[in-house]
Amino acid sequence: MKIGMIGTGKIGFSLGPLLAASGHEVKFGSRDPARIRGEVAKFGHGASAGTYREAAQFGDAVFLAVPWHALAETLKAAGSLSGKVVVDCTNPLTKDMNLAVGCTTSAAEETARACPDAGVVKAFNTIFAGIYKAGDLGSGEQRLDMLYCGDDPAAKRTVAGIIESLGLVPVDAGPLSAARLIEPHAVLMIRLAFVQGMGAGIAWKLVGGRSGPNSASRGA
């Protein structure tokens, strides 16, 4: 699948190369494409670099991997996302790593409000960049889970397919409003890693449920 990866920080440059190595065509979008061209060339697998707008136009799926506070200006720079599957990887964090929104809305719902003609799915916000970078997503019964949610069934199917293409287990958390629960989950992971001292090698695994503890996928 053609993927536009917008933002080339820790997530963009860890998840993006993993997607490229898994068979996706990835164009990295940056505010400064010249700065990233050399690095992107090293990723191989046909990965390319461009502006936010070029990455947005290229991708059938467009990943948003920028700080939450930069989302509005990023979406403006990206231009129309009409008809795209938009994967919101952001976590709405304050400077002191607390949740900036929650209960009545979420980063994902605000993204959907900003691009109403796109299929917005929340995903890829609950695993640390270092884990993508190491490419260690677990195997067999220990394959890591990826929570996702959204209101557009076709967009959700697409994202579930991308999640599976990386070897992760898609866990359907329901409608986009479930991002109000998934985003705080990421904040909990940050607390466990950096305040409780567990480190950023931790990841989350759901066990049990109707499909059995070793089910290949969960949810609807």
Ligand X SMILES: NC(=O)c1ccc[n+]([C@@H]2O[C@H](COP(=O)([O-])OP(=O)(O)OC[C@H]3O[C@@H](n4cnc5c(N)ncnc54)[C@H](OP(=O)(O)O)[C@@H]3O)[C@@H](O)[C@H]2O)c1
Residues that bind ligand X (CB under 6 A): 7-12, 30-32, 65-68, 70, 74, 89-91, 93, 125, 128-129
HSE of 77, CA atoms in CB hemisphere, 13 A: 18
DSSP readout, 36-103?
A: HHHHHHHH-TT-EEE-HHHHHHH-SEEEE-S-GGGHHHHHHHH---TT-EEEE----B-TTS-BSS-S
Q: Cβ distance 20 to 2 under 8 Å?
A: no
- Find how far residue 85's CA is from the centre of its chain: 12
- Closer CB to ligand X, 91 or 158, in the complex: 91
Residue 57 or 125 having the CB closest to ligand X: 125
Smaller CB separation from ligand X, 81 or 93: 93
The residue number whose beta carbon is nearest to ligand X equals: 9
CB of 215 to ligand X, least distance (A): 24
Closest CB to ligand X among residues 152, 183: 183
Least distance CB 212 / ligand X (angstroms): 28
Helix axes 107-114 and 71-78, enclosed angle (nearest 10): 30
Query: In whole angstroms, how close is the CB of 32 to ligand X at the nearest point?
Result: 6
User: Closest distance between ligand X and the C-beta of residue 9, in Å?
Assistant: 2
Cβ 132 to ligand X, closest distance in Å?
8
Which position has the token pair 């990866």? 5
Tell me how far, at minimum, the Cβ of 194 lies from ligand X, in Å: 10
Give 67 or 213: the residue with its C-beta nearer to ligand X: 67
SS3 state at 163: helix
* Residue 82: other Cβ atoms inside 10 A: 9
Cβ-contact 150, 156 below 8 angstroms: yes
Instruction: Please check whether residue 79 is in contact with residue 117, taking contact to mean a CB–CB distance below 8 angstroms.
Output: no
- Report the residue number, 34 or 220, with the smaller CB distance to ligand X: 34
